[in-house]
Amino acid sequence: ENKQAELEARSVMNWVDKLSPKVPILLIHGSDDKRVSVENSIQFAKALDKHHIPHKLVVYEGDNHFLMNHKEQLESELVNWFNTYL
């Protein structure tokens, strides 16, 4: 019924302060994503910085939502992240 209120309630930007500083977050985005603006990840990373939540932001230049042009780099990034934090 109230789509905007629901979207705002679900947006992590409205409850970053509730995230654990003990759980690192990996953000991966394509700079040419037409579905979700890369600016969303950039702003989220800034909010994580503000709340001292460990994270890493990786932006693949010229890539889209599906990161089709950086599959090998993406896989390597994910494997390294999981090996480090799991």
Q: What is the pTM of this model?
A: 0.89
Q: 60 in a domain, yes or no?
A: yes
Residue 39 sits at the vertex; the CA angle it makes with 34 and 45, to the nearest 5 degrees, is 135
**pLDDT of residue 7 exceeding 90:** no
Question: Which residues form the domain of 25?
Answer: 16-85
Per-residue pLDDT of 52-84, as tens digits, reads 999 999 999 999 999 999 999 999 999 999 999
**Chain center to CA of 68:** 17
The Cα 84–Cα 86 span in angstroms is: 6
Number of structural domains, the chain? Answer: 1
Q: 4 in a domain, yes or no?
A: no
Q: 65 in a domain, yes or no?
A: yes
Q: 7 in a domain, yes or no?
A: no
DSSP code per residue over 5-72:
HHHHHH-GGGSGGGS-TTS-EEEEEETT-SSS-HHHHHHHHHHHHHTT--EEEEEETT--TT-GGGHH
Q: 33 in a domain, yes or no?
A: yes
Q: 79 in a domain, yes or no?
A: yes
Is 8 or 49 the better-scoring residue by pLDDT? 49
Q: 68 in a domain, yes or no?
A: yes
Q: 63 in a domain, yes or no?
A: yes
